[in-house]
Amino acid sequence: MRATVFGTGYVGLVSGTCLAEVGHQVTCVDVDQAKIEGLERGIVPIFEPGLEPMVKANHAAGRLAFTTDAAAAIADAEVVFIAVGTPPDEDGSADLQYVLAVARTIGRHLSRPAVVVNKSTVPVGTADKVRAVIAAELSARGLPLDFDVVSNPEFLKEGAAVNDCMRPDRIVLGARSAGAVDTMKRLYAPFNRNHERLVVMDERSAELTKYAANAMLATKISFMNEMANIAERVGADIEMVRQGIGSDPRIGYQFIYPGAGYGGSCFPKDVQALERTARQHDYQAGLLQAVEGVNQRQKHKLAELALRHFGGDLRGKTFAVWGLAFKPNTDDMREASSRALLADLWAAGARVRAHDPEAMEEARRVFGQRGDLELCASPASALEGADALVLVTEWKAYWSPDFPALATALGARVVFDGRNVWDPVQVEQAGLAYYGIGRGRSL
């Protein structure tokens, strides 16, 4: 089938590439000319395991094209995806300007019946807005074309996006017409051989499903961080508590890791946007407000521990920081906890020597040149001249450091483990002070 995807970010590029991988003819459109030119030369602008070879292979096979020419890309598409960003606007609601701009472009250039599929995370009711915008453009052209709008939220995880896309847990389709559902079933058949993964519903439910999924996951994290803060105060170890509750199959082990707060381009903005949607409908979503509040506080936890350890004064101190991306296996630093930590350390007069396996270029872009930041080529070089080490992102490469060597390298012999990946006993035996999250020994 012929599909066009608007937006070549994490969602659009991965989805478009996976559709090409199973044999569809895919054109990816972006307004960012440099990105498109790079992609045509095989330069993949994001780090996502497995993506680059797949992009190159499908491009070389002629199944995956990149363009800024929206009109040509729409001309003979059977399915047109919208996969552009929906960042928070000033009050935290989802900003629909990019989604609606694509809808206008589609309405201006559509010349045959097609299914328009929204993959961006959008507030309930957006399918109606997209439909109205396209219909208005078509009617201005005097072209009464048949088209459908389907809501197909994306559930891929950055860092595992290709695998999630090739082997989805579920494919949610919000649609009004049986014809549109049939088209989508044909398009997704290679990802859904037994048809057990498709969940078909109305558009509003599909739109809310995406927010509900992210809000549930964010709630699990904030719940565990709340428990960790209580554990710290009462002298309990949250890691023991985690294992104790995870063994209950109704709770489960997944996604109950305490830490330095959640970040990324989705959880923070989606929890906020859902809370704002509720408010617009005269409902105060107290639980969502608490989830967001706990997370915002948690992002400052590591700096708080550091300030406490050093008696409230970080002037003249140098911190090695391991991990800048918002989670492992990505170069994405949007809303990353590292950003809150670095801001706090700098505000308290400290200097930072940071390393990340994939996010160094992004860090250069985010922080620019500054005298109190050194971006280091290796975890070991980040330790040079440092007083303390803070682990923010749990990349596997950071899990088993040589603790006695750390004790020698760090002037103040102290580590702050923002993801509870180290064994406090082993760390302390090496002669280091250990601070984790909710480990009953941090006060």
How near is the Cβ of 182 to ligand NAD at its closest, in Å?
A: 25
Stretch that binds ligand NAD, among 27-35, 222-230, 236-244, 309-317 (CB under 6 A): 27-35
Beta bridge partners of 9: none
Which helix (DSSP H) or strand (DSSP E) does residue 389 occupy?
A: strand 388-391
349 phi/psi in degrees, rounded to 5: 95, 10
18 classed as catalytic: no
| Spatial distance between the Cα atoms of 229 and 206, rounded to a whole number of angstroms | 35
- By CB under 6 A, residue 154 contacts ligand NAD: yes
- By CB under 6 A, residue 72 contacts ligand NAD: no
How near is the Cβ of 187 to ligand NAD at its closest, in Å?
A: 18
How near is the Cβ of 179 to ligand NAD at its closest, in Å?
A: 25
- By CB under 6 A, residue 137 contacts ligand NAD: no
- By CB under 6 A, residue 409 contacts ligand NAD: no
- By CB under 6 A, residue 11 contacts ligand NAD: yes
**Nearest to residue 162, comparing CAs of 262, 334, 46, 265?**
46
**Nearest to residue 287, comparing CAs of 373, 216, 355?**
216
256 among the known binding-site residues?
A: yes
CB 66 within 8 A of CB 248: no
Letter for the amino acid at 129?
K
| Spatial distance between the Cα atoms of 55 and 21, rounded to a whole number of angstroms | 9
Contact positions with ligand NAD (CB under 6 A) in 211-270: 265-266
- By CB under 6 A, residue 436 contacts ligand NAD: no
Q: How far from each other are the two terminal CA atoms of the chain, in whole angstroms?
A: 60
Which residue is at the shortest CB distance from ligand NAD? 9
209 among the known binding-site residues?
A: no
- By CB under 6 A, residue 84 contacts ligand NAD: yes
| Spatial distance between the Cα atoms of 155 and 364, rounded to a whole number of angstroms | 29
| Spatial distance between the Cα atoms of 69 and 71, rounded to a whole number of angstroms | 6
Q: Between 88 and 246, whose beta carbon lies closer to ligand NAD?
A: 88
How far are the Cα atoms of 102, 172, 360 from residue 376, in angstroms, in the given order? 40, 43, 8
Using CB under 6 A, count the residues that bind ligand NAD: 26
30 among the known binding-site residues?
A: yes
Q: Between 150 and 388, whose beta carbon lies closer to ligand NAD?
A: 150
How near is the Cβ of 358 to ligand NAD at its closest, in Å?
A: 15
Beta bridge partners of 414: 388, 433
Residues flagged as binding site for substrate:
155-158, 210, 255-259, 263, 327
Catalytic residue list:
266
Q: Residue numbers of the site for ligand NAD (CB under 6 A)?
A: 6-12, 29-32, 35, 83-86, 98, 101-102, 120-121, 154, 156, 158, 265-266
